[in-house]
Structure 1
Amino acid sequence: MASNSSERLDATIPGAFPEASRSQSAISTTHQSLTQALYARRAEYTRPRHVRIKVGSWNVAGLKGVEQDIGAWFVDGKGIEESLAGLGVGAPDAKDASSKEPISAQEARRTSKAPTVPFHDSKAVPGNEEVGLYVLGLQEVVDITSAAEALRPYTDPSVANKWKEKLSTALPNGYQLVAEQQLIGLLLLVYASPEVHPHVKAVSTTSVGTGLMGYMGNKGAVTTRIVLGETTRLVFVNSHLSAGADKASLERRNWDANQITSRTRFDPITDAMDLNQGHGEGIGDEDFAFWFGDLNYRLESMPGEDVRRLLTVHTRRYSQDGAEDANDTASTSHDAEDAVPLPPDLDPASVQTTINSLLPHDELKQQQKAEKAFHDGWEEGPIRFLPTYKYDVGRVGVFDSSEKQRGPSWCDRILYRTRASRHQYNLKAKEREEARKKDEEMKAKGLDHAADDEDVLYDYDPDTDGDKNDSYDEYDEQEDPEPEVVPTKAGFSDEFALETYTSHMRVISSDHKPLEAVFSLKYDAVIPELKTAIHQEVARELDRQENEGRPSITVVVDRSTGSTSHDNGTTDHSFDGVDFGDVAFGKSKRRSITIANTGRVPATFGFANRPLDNSQPEGAFPPWLRLKFDREPDAPSKASSGELDQQYTIEPADVLNAELKLKVDSLDMVNLLNEGSSCLEEVLVLRVQDGRDHFLPLRAHWLPSTLTRTVDKLIKIPEGGIRKLQGQKPDREGVRWSVPREIFRLTEAIEVNMERALAEWDMTGHGNDNESAPWQHNAAWPFVNQVKDTSEEETVADTIEALDCDEPFEKAFPAIMRPKARLECLADTLLLFLRSLQDGVITKSLWEKLEEGIATREKSKQQLDRDDEKIWALEILATQPNHNATFLLLISILQNITNQIAEASKPDPTTPRTSTELPASPRASVRRRTLSKVPDIALRQLIHRNYATVVSDVMFRGPNTEKMKEKDKAVRKERMIKTVELFLKNEDDGTALQR
């Protein structure tokens, strides 16, 4: 049982062998799929990489000129007020600080046409080439309060182009835009350095609107997903959540965040190292996520005036009223030197102490703790900067002085989440849920929570228990925190750390202060060259293992025959398949193949159906090919695939022989081959159960034939036959004959062999063994043979070959072939040739005119004299002279044959002759009483009727009869027969048949 369980488990592994083959070889249970094997050796083709990721967020309030500041603060790292610095911002150099432009001067010169950052400012955070990925999220790049903007059905590209132009100019050379997404006022741009850009794959961007009616884009998020080095998924979410300070607005913000998470979907990843490829991913499937933007969370239960009063104590020096007093600055510096420094969080007068007192009222922190929003693993760096909202435009530290006097708050945030933190949250949530269920079970048993109750294992209250740390993170002086080791979805261990989290107070072009965070990421990147080499090595090894345990066959082609020759006279001997060589109409070509079982297990195989082709029917073989094996196929119950016609099973070391026969005898196929719209090429698919497919190419070179041509083309073929043209069009030489030379040769040979057949019959005593003459019992002879010779088909094909090559017919006939047999073969060839004519002897247009006149006379019951009717018909036929001449030539040969048969059928003068001795009529139903009483005339009438019936089938081309009723078809057929009979009758035939 253990073995069977193992086999069923292995069968579910992608790429494993089918369960049916497992009993055949134990080695198959150890096979791995190519993806699994390649994944197991990932350490061999990955190398460690380090990248800094700078994430910036800024609500630009739809103001003009704000783009002037983007390069200075986001790329160069300027515009930071170090005295209010955040995480990762060090103290400025004394020389740099002294040369920095004063606040008053900065505010005085503020304009929308130039950057607003201070002159002579120095970089305070990583920037320029130190950063590998720049991720910028902007809000309100257009006026989202405008109904016209919010409801606009398209995005104006000029807005994004303005920001991209400024950012591209500010970035160092070589940085490239890898992702871009805009949703009305939201804009997300991602740029990569020249070193990082080759490792950026699987970029997917999307947007989710949560504004008006829950779907409009005045609020929502724009999101992008990228994969670094084919190993590490990064997701960046730039969002703008609902505004407002009331409870309903708070709940709407939480709803917005939930909608963004649930509705965001990315394109499937096709090139990453993920065993679960092919499905679209969402937020939560990544390794590292960054959520930033104007989240609009406020300070709860604190009047805005109180907040402004607390913060103004620290921002007075940034207002024009009392800022930049040199004496105050010097005095402060002198006092600082004499005083014992206190940590900022212990100094009651410090900015950090004020910030720490306000953060417990921050709605975002409260909602995270209550697990209503951003609670499932989302983190934020320590806040060591003043609220980013709301300031007077053009001022460094003056909060909203307008009539609304909005309360300051940390609306702009940058959150991040690792796969490890999300996994840890999910584990804790699962533990809490299990504890809750356990607690309910104990309550159901009547147990209480008394401390002295020995049956109570623990006391848990899901509403109050949990994180006991209700205060905000204490101030941490550690500037370089230890990186977090994060297991990724692809099975690697990345190192991740937050280096910087701060705002740019000295940027004054918007009522929001820009916010940025810099992250350090160490990851393993796939090296394509190494991966390709390992992939090839793994594939070879798996292929070797797989071949040892799966059925294997070898197909050997008989190459003893010649190869295909081309029109230019060259021969190709390099073809690796079955080559039938040159093929003509009706000529069979045979080749043989041998199929050997070269594996260690029995092999069951069959030929799979070919793809559907409009020119050929569905099946395993084309219509011109037949295949015959030297043994019977398996019983139908063994067949496992409906697409295989027959299946054969051969044991190891056994062989199976097959013969392939190619023969083109379909006129439709001949037409396609002559026109070049089809060719004698095919690939047979030999499908081995649980093994690989084998492909058997077939080809042959078609030799052009005069069959399926038109009369107009045939009369232009020169002496030497159509093969002499070697692919050239017959009409290049001009008209050479009045009737097709092939028809003339056939009729001439028929007349000659008719005379010889009759003479031979007369000389040999009217046949051997009392054999009667064929014309004595068959009124349609020689065009209808009641006894067929098995070799006649091959002789007809040889006769067509003689026509195509303009060779004597004697080459087509065996030397011992009697004139009678030759005559019958020539007659069959003539009927085949006439049937193959595309336009017929009597074309469609000629017949329509003839039928119209016949129908008119039938309707009016008008009868013309026989000569007048012939003249009328000839006038119509004369409009196409070559067809007319061909028709009259055929009528002439039929009359000649009739005369010869009638003459040979005359009895001895001493023997009376009656009409009862007339031959049978195999092609026409004729009542004896309608025939002439004169035996010779009755014989002619009977022969004419049969000949007219036979040739009318092959000479006339009329309109399509598929939708005609059977009665109408019979009427048309009778009119055609009557037309031929009109010309066959002699004047001395007597009265016409009464029908």
Structure 2
Amino acid sequence: MQTTLQPIEDEVLVPLQPDEETEDGRVRNREAIAKIRDIWIYSKVRARQEEFTQYRKALVFTGTWNVNAKGKEEPLDEWLCADWATQGLPDLVAVGFQEIVDLNAVNVAVDNKTQQRSQVWTERLNATLNQHANQPERRYVLVAQKSMVGLLICVFVRFPHYPKVQYVQTSQVGVGVMGMMGNKGGVSVRLQFYDSSLCFVCSHLAAHRENVTGRNADFANVFSKTVFDVGEAAIREVIRSGSLSHFASQSTTVGLADHDHTFWLGDLNYRIDESMPTEQILKLSETCQSSRHVPPELRQLDQLNMERSAGRVFAGFQEGVLHFAPTYKYQPGTDMYEQRPEKKLRAPAWCDRILWMSQQAEHVQQLTYSRSERPNCSDHKPVYSSLQLTVKDVIQEKREAIYAELNALLSRYENPQTLPVIELDQVALDFGPIRYQERKTLSIRITNIGSVVAIFRFVPKTDEVGICKRWLSVKPAFGMLVPGDPPLTVNFTITIDSYTAQLLNSGREVLDDIVILRLEDGRDYYITIKASFARSCFGMAADELVMYSDPIRSIPIDPLERAKKIDPTNTSTALCIPKELWRCIDAIYQKGLAEPHLFVESGIPEETAAIRECLDTGTAFGRYSIHSYADTLVSFLSSLSSPVVPTKLFPTVEIDSQTIQSSARRLIEDLPPIHYNIFVYVISFFRHVLAFRDRNLLTAAKVARVCVNSLAPGRDLDNTAASLQKRTGMQLIVLHLLETSSI
């Protein structure tokens, strides 16, 4: 079984009410006790849901179309009813539109036409679906619709199932102009169908072929910010059906991942990777349009496929194989890709997509995934997919019987006059040495050795908010043990990320902590955590790295001991650039710069860890993939405690052809000395990489993104228009430096 729900053990219990201390010194929190008890019951009910759940099949039709603000009254049958003859009548129909109005400044700011156009499209959908409305089993009822500046989603249900639809809610998230105006973003509808929760999202993500990062960020924003306040009754019902772990927060809101099934459709705007020339993409797209065969190399270079494979976007979602030709960009009113001489030549792309996410993968079967040739008034072709769902239908009497059984069990072991007693197999965990980007887990086992229920939770230390330091995680953070239960395992995991490495390298943090386990109506237990950081060049300052000719692992973290390694009177010992940077780049040179998809294809995690160890210890490199060296180089530059290009040096005015030369010169002149050396060295290296672009399939724009992400990450920039302008200006400056010989 695959699940996308956040497990209960990932949650930290934060009761709103303060703890109470009894006369005999025991501590309890009634709110925490009630919540943990409810969660225990929920987990037991969920484990037994097969005993009270019967399942039924439901056919769902989903469709998406960017209409490009066209209002032509073409019939929608060929798209909306494309597979009804073969698959049967859908039980639910969810259709999303993008650009139902022009995304001009007035419409984005005022949104004065969206409601009018939404009504027109909703009526057209209703008329198309209800051509046989005189037959009740073929009648469709609008459940909900939601619109936002050019976006519209409509959900219909077939009339016989209408009584089984409840808890309907809508949501919207704007991620366009200034992050909120809505020219890009998502609109959503969620509902309960029988006893399964379903959610449908229609989105329009950031445009432009090179803006993969922007699309990924838009997805993350829509995914994280889409919430529905469904009310306490709905939350309780979904929990009791075994679908949701919401007792810990006592919130009445749910997110996308809290549903049994989530469908994401829209103009996601992912293109074919720039490593394939536009003309070649056009030729292959025309071939697969006529032959109905998609060349594997075209599918492999689809940006969404690449980003999903790398785990950067749509984690947990599934998509059918692309067996249809790219759906964008067409000459409106024709079946020809746009190639008119007065128009900009764009590479065809699968912009229009349908994906889904399910708690149980086997409960969704995609029957069709294709595009429709009509309507053709837009520069996008409509896309559709039919999916067969397995939905829950709870037998209420059986469910209530299980609840009664579980409550009776707890009643036998709940006695306020008897103290709970637990036993921990250890209270001191020594993780030993731990390295950068390493995750290490140790565990303790808790046993209930008493005669009553034992409820525990980890609590913060006095005047602190978290139960542990940020580099440590504790799972589960609370629990309940009934007498006779097997011991419960609690995992403690240390993770060293870039921020933690920066703190450790500078001596501002140590890997020591004390975690407090509180037994409700009992005592506190103190668990000590200890580890030693294997010092790393990752997460250090470039200005410090150049001071050491010895491997960084041999340099003490203690500042007094470290000072003995440096002769302040001998400035000649300082390096021009960190030796670790030189070693990485030299290794890539040795491997050869003509490797296809260099700095695009991911390295092997085990190899990148080994390369990091070689850099930290000064040992010779092994036989590793060039992609692993490339990954390590980018990771090293990105991890520096002070970015090579500080955010304060980002351009503050719009960059154009008249100002780019002077802006680039000013940026370089203002860099601190060591940062200047690194910047010039890295830009010169990437210029040499681009000399092999015919073989490594890189482009200047793609290399510029790699450089900006590693040299000028802009960590303290937000999503405002001013910050976006700074990022864009930085990108243009780096692109200019890569394509010219001046620096």
Note whether the superposition's TM-score is higher than 0.5.
no
TM-score (norm 2): 0.45
TM-score (norm 1): 0.34
Larger radius of gyration: 1
The structure with more strand, counted as a fraction of residues: 2
